[in-house]
Homo-oligomer: A and B are copies of this chain.
Amino acid sequence: MTSFPPCDDRNTDWLACLRASGYRLTGPRRAVVEALSQSGRALNATEIYDLARERYASLGLVSVYRTLEKLEELELIQRVHQPDGCQAFIAGFTGHQHLLICQQCGHVEFFEGDDLEPLFQRVAEESGYQICDHWLQLFGVCDQCRRG
């Protein structure tokens, strides 16, 4: 189980990664990166916009979209698919992790699956498909939301 403690490192890492990829570090970008890198929740563009404007008031929504595009391309963030929409983003994780999402507050945790390879192998054989990727996501209510 891996959660998102408040984490200055991630903020710094993302900025370094952007710079290393030839992108300039600007006020709007820093604000968007800070909002998303510090969040344990999946956030959509508008939520990021609202959060990031607390830090950089003249931010435009367009810059949010353009920054998200770059962060996704660098695989620093990933899109979260949920029954009620697929517009939210969360910090990405390296390796293949699976998502556990709170349906009330949006909090996301990552967990490692049991070894699902035997299942995939079986399905591949029975179906004739060549399997390239998989999604395993759990939806529920987190401890905090259950109590409150």
A residues with CB within 8 A of B = 1, 81, 83, 86, 100, 102-103, 109, 111, 113-114, 118-120, 123-124, 126-143, 146
A136 → chain B, closest Cβ, in Å? Answer: 5
Asked whether, in the complex, the Cβ of B124 is within 8 Å of the Cβ of A132, the reply is no
Whether the Cβ atoms of B131 and A138 lie closer than 8 Å is: yes
Residues in B neighbouring A102, C-beta threshold 8 A? 129
CB distance from A11 to the nearest CB of B (A): 25
Q: Are B130 and A139 in touch, CB under 8 angstroms?
A: no
Copy number in the complex reads: 2
Give the residues in chain B near A143, CB-CB below 8 Å.
Answer: 127-129
Identity of the chain B residue whose Cβ is nearest the Cβ of A113 in the assembled complex: B119
Cβ-neighbour of A100 out of B111, B127, B138 (below 8 A): B127
Distance (whole angstroms) from the CB of A10 to the closest CB of chain B: 21
Residues of B within 8 A of A86 (CB): 81, 86
Complex formed: what's the CA distance from A92 to B18 in Å? 43
CA distance A81 to B139 in the complex (A): 15
